[in-house]
Amino acid sequence: MLALIVVLIAAVLYGWREYHRQHPDTATMEAAYSMPAPVLVKAFQDDENKANQQYNDKVINVSGTVVKVEHNDSTQTVQLDGQAMGGVICQFETAHGSELKALQPGQPVSIRGVCTGMLMDVVLVRCALDKTHH
Amino acid sequence: MKKGMLLAIGLITGVIAFSQDRIFTRKAEISFYSKAPLEDIEAHNKAAVSVLDKGTGQVEFSVLMKGFEFAKALMQEHFNENYVESDKYPKATFKGKITDMSKVKFGTEGSYTVPVSGQLTLHNVTKDVNAGATITIKSGAVSGHTELTITLEDYNIKIPAVVKDKISKTVKVVVNSNYENMK
């Protein structure tokens, strides 16, 4: 009887925690891949289906040159140079938005984020500056 | 090298041809909301691509399903895995037309209400949709806003039986886009 209650409590606790689970901070997660932005873009341009399977939902470290940094009300975005037809758009996690203050176009940078696929550009979300390379 | 030059020329001429009437954004915001007894659901995507032709009124949107962010990680996983199956169908697109484009005076500041109709492709199902949209011209910049309600069943999105009566069968989709001129 006691065992049953313990199991029940454990199950409820697990369910509660699972239900309220937050997204992990990308900065603390291990990157599955590290590559220059043009290489990632080319992989998507060459074979989008294959690249979707390989990279989507994965944490990727991309290194590249900053084209544009944009601050909107709630989002900070960095655009990295890729191929002629598209680059990498990195949407920063609000908590990491302040890391972009000093970032200038033309500057080399390393950013990690979760890959969501390609439209005109490859899109990474929940980004943070990659500190392991600095 | 030669290939690069050709591509560059193609790009330049392409951009010239585009720059006449087309405006675009890579950062359109698409959000959806669903209110239900079990729980309210909302998610936001701020990296949708949209192109609007000011001359013809042709308008297109494209969005990555995995880019919709939910407050709760579990909900986002369920959305991708069980509902929209984003591994199989990574994008949703809308291709349509603002049917009464002559109403919009791009040279005059103001808000214009226009009808939009077109096809929405979601979860590998394409349906006709109609909605009202507002085009706003302010300081030379063009922005668009629209809201529409879609029924999940229309797009073959199945609600698991256990939560069938507790989750709304429709979702409200809100779209905001601030366009830039093609440079």
Q: B87: which chain A residues are within 8 Å (Cβ-Cβ)?
A: 52-53, 56
Q: Which band of pLDDT confidence, cut at 50, 70 and 90, is reported for residue B16? A: very low
Mutate: best of A119, A124, A127, partner B, most B CBs <10 A: A119
Class of residue B75 by CB neighbours under 10 A (exposed 0-12, middle 13-18, buried 19+): middle
Of B26, B49, B67, nearest to A125 by CB-CB distance is: B67
Over residues B16-31, mean pLDDT:
80
Our CA-based measurement puts residue A21 at a distance from the nearest CA of chain B, in whole angstroms, of 6
pLDDT above 70 covers a percentage of chain B that reads 88
B87: Cα separation from own chain's centroid: 19
Q: What is the pLDDT of residue B6?
A: 46
Q: What is the pLDDT of residue B183?
A: 58
Nearest residue to B92 via CA among B69, B74, B70, B66: B66
Residue B120 pLDDT exceeds 90: yes
Q: Do A84 and B8 touch (CB under 8 A)?
A: yes
In this prediction the pTM is: 0.87
Residue A74 pLDDT exceeds 80: no
Residue A69 pLDDT exceeds 60: yes
**pLDDT tens per residue across span A120-133:** 999 999 999 987 65
Of A24, A117, A126, nearest to B64 by CB-CB distance is: A117
- Does the A26-133 domain belong in CATH 2.40.50.140? yes
Q: Which domains does chain B have, with CATH numbers?
A: 22-181 (2.40.128.110)
Complex confidence, ipTM: 0.86
**pLDDT tens per residue across span B69-116:** 999 999 999 999 999 999 999 999 999 999 988 899 998 999 999 999
Residue entry with tokens 């084209």: A67
Rounded CA-CA distance A11/A13 in Å is 5
Q: Do A18 and B74 touch (CB under 8 A)?
A: yes
pLDDT above 90 covers a percentage of chain B that reads 70
Judge whether A19 is closer than 8 Å to chain B, CB to CB.
Answer: yes
Q: What is the pLDDT of residue A133?
A: 54
Q: What is the pLDDT of residue A132?
A: 64
**pLDDT tens per residue across span B134-174:** 999 999 899 999 999 999 999 999 988 878 888 889 999 99
Looking at this protein, which amino acid is placed at residue A116?
T
Q: A50: which chain B residues are within 8 Å (Cβ-Cβ)?
A: none
**pLDDT tens per residue across span A81-128:** 999 889 999 999 888 888 888 899 999 999 999 999 999 999 999 999
Nearest residue to B47 via CA among A113, A30, A77: A77
Q: What is the pLDDT of residue B118?
A: 97
Mutate: best of B31, B49, B66, B76, partner A, most A CBs <10 A: B66
